[in-house]
Amino acid sequence: MHHHPGRYPTTRLRRTRQHEWLRRVVAETALAPADLVWPLFVHEHEASHPVASMPGVERLSIDGIVKAAADAAGLGIPAVALFPVIDVRHKTDDARHAFDADSLVCRTVRAVRQETGDAVGIICDVALDPYTTHGHDGLLRDGRILNDETVDVLRRQAVVLAEAGCHVVAPSDMMDGRVGAIRAALDAAGRHDVCILSYAAKYASAFYGPFRDALGSHAALATAARLGVADKKTYQMDPANADEALREIALDLAEGADMVMVKPAGTALDVIWRVKQAFGVPTLAYQVSGEYAMIQAAAANGWIDGGKAAVESLLVLKRAGADAVLTYFAPEIARALTTSA
């Protein structure tokens, strides 16, 4: 507590809640377009294709992504995060398409960069899930996810993405030691300017379901179940743990992470708070697909006001200490914030 709060009736906390202008004066936290990062799905087709479990979200063509990035710039959204829908014929056990310079995501990065230059940040996931036949973020052998062999592929993937022109690589795989390996590989390739945003505290969560729909990785993960690794619990964190999240963050920072992420966001407000307090580094939160889907589903049923719920769900992430939030609501919220200001 900062100081004694005073005593009723001299002190009446409702006094500063009376008017909209006064509530705005005393607001401790604000949400702005600059706080939002927009995750986008790119696919090989010309027509866009809706994601059934994420109303309002579509898989876009490369041209569609270029246009979305330009829209982001116009709306004051600082960055987009790209996720490719990879055709099954490019999925292999060794995930070699992950470091193919002609992959869908690399072509997309080049196209966006050509159009928007440095006006919009381009963030690319570093993980093998789009590229493995089994949908795991790492290589799998004899029923185990291999750590160091996976890291070897991740650093090659990171360099290829950097060379395509992305500004930020975001390892979301949760292998040990990958941040250090990626930093060393980027530096050796002369890419010291490329940032690392580490998905440092990423939980094995039930809230990623719609994202896996969007990428079509459910089928692959069914293969994984047959191979004896049905879930991602041997590399993603147990939602029971928060001290461990701080250790993950400390290690990734020591290895060279520029920014860290906590994911999912709404189920980890305490973790966001502790990370920001403990390290004071740029801290992002990812409001994941399932969080988005829940708000949209309830809103579609008329059970909640979707727009208000979206703003509230994002504002509290800022209150918890997040500097920015990845959210599928980004364009809608940025538009609303711009027109109401």
Return the number of the residue (35 or 137) whose C-beta is nearest ligand PBG.
137
Give me the least distance between CB of 225 and ligand PBG, in Å please: 14
Contacts of 248 (CB under 8 A, 6+ apart): 200, 201, 237
Is residue 66 a contact partner of residue 111, using CB atoms and an 8 Å limit? yes
Taking CB positions, which residue lies at the least distance from ligand PBG?
A: 211
Count, residues near ligand PBG per rule CB under 6 A: 11
Give me the least distance between CB of 288 and ligand PBG, in Å please: 4
Asked if 127 touches ligand PBG (CB under 6 A), the answer is yes
Return the number of the residue (136 or 183) whose C-beta is nearest ligand PBG.
136
Asked if 203 touches ligand PBG (CB under 6 A), the answer is no
- Residue 263: active-site member: yes
Select the residue interacting with ligand PBG from 137, 248, 252, 255 (CB under 6 A).
137
Give me the least distance between CB of 217 and ligand PBG, in Å please: 7
Give me the least distance between CB of 212 and ligand PBG, in Å please: 6
Select the residue interacting with ligand PBG from 61, 172, 283, 296 (CB under 6 A).
172
Among the listed residues 202, 232, 276, 318, the single catalytic one is 202
Tokens linked to 130: 């789009």
Return the number of the residue (38 or 211) whose C-beta is nearest ligand PBG.
211
- Residue 233: active-site member: no
Is residue 58 a contact partner of residue 38, using CB atoms and an 8 Å limit? no
Asked if 125 touches ligand PBG (CB under 6 A), the answer is yes
Is residue 138 a contact partner of residue 235, using CB atoms and an 8 Å limit? yes
Asked if 252 touches ligand PBG (CB under 6 A), the answer is no
Region of 263 on the Ramachandran plot (φ > 0 left; ψ -120 to 50 alpha; else beta): beta
* 3 state DSSP class of 238: coil
Burial class (CB in 10 A: 0-12, 13-18, 19+), 294: middle
Which CA distances in Å does 318 have to 167, 234, 277, 286, 336? 24, 30, 13, 12, 18
Select the residue interacting with ligand PBG from 41, 99, 203, 211 (CB under 6 A).
211
Which CA distances in Å does 1 have to 4, 21, 274? 8, 26, 17
Among the listed residues 91, 232, 263, 276, the single catalytic one is 263
Select the residue interacting with ligand PBG from 289, 296, 313, 327 (CB under 6 A).
289
Burial class (CB in 10 A: 0-12, 13-18, 19+), 30: exposed
Return the number of the residue (74 or 267) whose C-beta is nearest ligand PBG.
267
Tell whether the torsion through CA atoms of 265, 206, 172 and 111 is positive or negative: negative
Neighbours of 226 (CB within 10 A): 9
Binding site residues, ligand PBG, CB under 6 A: 125, 127, 129, 137, 172-173, 208, 211-212, 288-289
Active-site residues, by number, are 202, 263
